[in-house]
């Protein structure tokens, strides 16, 4: 009996659990998020609904927005006229199984039948064979990767709980506005009859979506279907000068997967809902007293805000940069945007009021004095040697030219402590509005204030970038 339970556990792990984790964490054989300049992909699940889907199509037409509808075959079979309208208005139709049932609960043959039956319903209604598949709840099993044939599995980068009416229009709108970002693949629902959903929830979703589309259009965003988003992403990836091999991609994915687990285990918090280049946590400082350049100090056991770079964002910056100088300037700009947002976020958490300063250890430390940080040598010892080894391994893995970078810059790639007192941090960032997109002050008064307490101008950025990448 014990052996049977053990084998059952193994089968469940390899058939269901591991494929789901791998696809969601590493993006293996699935598409989750695009690379675009001003485009966002809209996707809708569970329909079509005879009442809400026509209203949604009217709303999308109002803003000239295109979308991809992942239909449940049983619903589509009842309303082929809605499928024809979707196609006529430039939208795409994908498969969401014939019934809304998890692939974990079905054998591979049953999943294949569900997909084929729904595909035929779409083909007969629109004379078009679907190209995309989204499994219910985004859950795949081991054989889904091999049995999709011509279908591309589409997941999502953002979902909002819009299937529950109690979320409310205001809260749902706020959640969606945080994801008004290029390359996003939004998951929404145009039908509320699925198990666990509220029948009238699509009404709330459309009210929030109207505001989202209006604001997005005013900012110059375009709302596209999955075919266009994938094409834009392929174009962006092919334009990179430093393609990665299979081994490198695997290492990057494993490392970034470990980082996600690390953030969960050590309760590391995102800034700006994960859009910032930094994450942070509060903890007692352990070590010798740090004497900072503004006269303050951080003593052993003092509470500190520990900063962590988002290595996924660093990897994207490194991969998309034409040169180390361009990468350095982009990092500086991201830090410029992150610090005021961190100050605003910390001001809302009273338990962080006792923190004595900001603290981090990084190889990306040259030029950080421009932001108010003190740079302090790591005391020699086991911790220093382990940190140096870890960070150099990180550069080798995440940087497209990592091995050469580490070999050529042995003397400059030295991990150091970067620290700033809370007094210095608040004086620079707590009471200042974030800079505009061009990072330039707009008036004489603002210019003088920015020169004193905010962030470097373009010449200072260039100088800091030269220091960052000697």
Active-site pick, 91, 189, 279, 399? 189
Contact 416, 380 (CB under 8 A): no
Cα–Cα distance measured from residue 377 to residue 238, given in angstroms and rounded to the nearest whole number: 41
Rg (CA), the chain: 25
Question: Dihedral of the CA atoms 126, 132, 135, 139 (nearest 10)?
Answer: 180
- Classify 320 as helix, strand or coil: helix
Which residue, 362, 273, 357, is CA-closest to 314? 362
Of the residues 45, 46, 49, 310, only one is catalytic, namely 45
Q: Can you tell me whether residue 316 is helix, strand or coil?
A: helix
**Dist. CA 321–CA 324, nearest whole Å:** 7
CA 153 to chain centre: 19
Residues 331, 420, 406, 264, Cα dihedral to 10°? -80
How many Å apart are CA 257 and CA 22, to the nearest integer?
Answer: 9
Tokens of 29: 């054989």
The total number of residues written for the chain in this structure? 470
Active site residue 189: yes
Alpha helices in 27-79 (DSSP H): 52-62, 73-78
Classified as helix, coil or strand, 298 is: strand
Kindly list the catalytic residues.
45, 189
């Amino acid at each position: 009996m014990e052996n049977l339970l053990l084998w059952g556990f193994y089968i469940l792990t390899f058939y269901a659990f591991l494929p789901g984790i791998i696809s969601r964490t590493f993006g293996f054989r699935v598409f989750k998020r695009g690379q675009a300049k001003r485009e966002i992909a809209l996707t809708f699940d569970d329909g079509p609904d005879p009442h809400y889907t026509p209203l949604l199509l009217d709303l999308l037409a109002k803003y000239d927005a295109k979308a991809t509808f992942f239909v449940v075959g049983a619903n589509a079979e009842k309303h082929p006229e809605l499928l024809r309208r979707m196609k006529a208005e430039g939208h795409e139709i994908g498969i969401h199984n014939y019934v809304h049932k998890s692939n974990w609960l079905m054998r591979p043959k049953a999943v294949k039948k569900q997909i084929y039956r729904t595909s035929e319903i779409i083909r007969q209604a629109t004379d078009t064979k679907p190209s995309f598949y989204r499994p219910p709840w985004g859950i795949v099993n081991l054989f889904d990767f091999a049995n999709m044939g011509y279908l591309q599995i589409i997941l999502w980068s953002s979902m909002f709980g819009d299937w529950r009416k109690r979320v409310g229009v205001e809260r749902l709108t706020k959640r969606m506005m945080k994801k008004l970002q290029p390359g996003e693949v939004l998951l929404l629902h145009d039908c509320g009859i699925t198990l666990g959903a509220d029948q009238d929830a699509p009404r709330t979703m459309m009210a929030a979506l109207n505001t989202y589309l209006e604001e997005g259009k005013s900012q110059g965003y375009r709302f596209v279907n999955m075919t266009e988003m994938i094409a834009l992403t392929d174009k962006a990836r092919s334009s990179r000068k430093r393609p990665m091999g299979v081994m490198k991609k695997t290492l990057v994915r494993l490392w970034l997967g470990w980082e996600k687990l690390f953030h969960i285990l050590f309760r590391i918090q995102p800034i700006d809902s994960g859009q910032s280049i930094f994450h942070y946590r509060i903890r007692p400082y352990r070590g010798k007293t740090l004497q900072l350049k503004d006269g303050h100090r951080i003593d052993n056991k003092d509470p500190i805000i520990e900063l962590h770079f988002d290595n996924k964002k660093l990897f994207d910056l490194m991969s998309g940069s034409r040169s180390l100088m361009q990468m350095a300037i982009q990092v500086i700009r991201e830090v410029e945007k992150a610090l005021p947002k961190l100050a605003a976020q910390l001001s809302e958490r009273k338990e962080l009021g006792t923190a004595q300063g900001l603290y981090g250890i990084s190889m990306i430390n040259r030029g950080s004095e421009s932001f108010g940080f003190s740079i302090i040598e790591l005391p020699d010892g086991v911790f220093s040697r382990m940190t140096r080894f870890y960070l150099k391994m990180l550069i080798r893995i995440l940087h497209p030219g990592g091995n050469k970078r580490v070999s050529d810059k042995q003397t400059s790639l030295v991990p150091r402590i970067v620290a700033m007192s809370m007094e210095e941090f608040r004086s620079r960032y707590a009471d200042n509005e974030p800079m505009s997109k061009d990072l330039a002050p707009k008036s004489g008064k603002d210019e003088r204030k920015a020169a004193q307490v905010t962030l470097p101008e373009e010449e200072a950025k260039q100088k800091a970038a030269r220091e960052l990448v000697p």
